[in-house]
Amino acid sequence: MFEALTGTGLAASAGLNAYIPLLTMGLLARYTEAISLPTGWSWLANGWTLVILSLLLAIEVVADKVPVVDHLNDMVQTFVRPTAGGLAFGAGSASETVTVSDPGTFFTSHQWVPIVAGGLIALGVHAVKTASRPVVNATTAGFGAPVASTAEDFGSVAMSILAIVLPVLVLIGLLVLLVGAVWVVRRRRRRKSGVASVFRRGVGSV
């Protein structure tokens, strides 16, 4: 149960920002006892890996806060975030943490399952994030992009830490993401209906 919640939380976090959950796991494994990575995932705590992830995170943080650039970044991240989500779910669900003491029995015979599951979860969250950004930019003339991006970054950090330290609270984070998805769908429908209404008025006046 906790293994699944840990993996799900990390994968969802990757859907918001590909590098935060991987960097969080690596830093906690290297400098604390909050998480113990299995042998196959020990590269996440390697010094060079942490440096590379930090540089990629810095680029992502800046690019995601600039209107138009954020859209291009989301297009590139369509491939990166699901991959990171698969890695995060695989590593997180197989790790020993403060709440998981025996992860070896989880997905024992199907090691590919958590990676695929993580990729799908991250892709779903990424899709909501990508769909919401044009709505935010359009309704705030672009000024909302940095605010939304900062909120997503903090959400990704919080989800990553909770997934490792207190995975039960991941359910609350997932609920927040679900509410956000509903909001995005409704706003997009309103925008489309508004555009269609303006178009019909224009055609009718010709």
* Tens-digit pLDDT profile for residues 132-147: 888 777 777 777 788 8
Give this prediction's pTM: 0.81
Work out the average pLDDT over 21-40.
89
Residue 97: strand pairing partners: 35
CA distance 123 to 30: 28
The number of distinct structural domains making up the chain is: 1
pLDDT for the residue numbered 85: 92
Would the pLDDT of 96 be above 80?
A: no
pLDDT for the residue numbered 1: 67
Would the pLDDT of 107 be above 60?
A: no
Share of the chain above pLDDT 70, in %: 79
Query: In terms of Cα–Cα distance, which of 147, 136, 128, 98 is closest to 16?
Result: 128
Which one has a higher pLDDT value, 188 or 121?
121
The whole domain housing 165 covers 2-205
Q: Within 141-169, where are the H helices?
A: 144-165
Residue 35: strand pairing partners: 97
pLDDT for the residue numbered 198: 43
Ramachandran category for residue 180: left, alpha or beta (phi over 0 → left; psi -120 to 50 → alpha): alpha
pLDDT for the residue numbered 196: 46
Would the pLDDT of 108 be above 80?
A: no
> For all residues of the chain together, what is the average pLDDT?
81
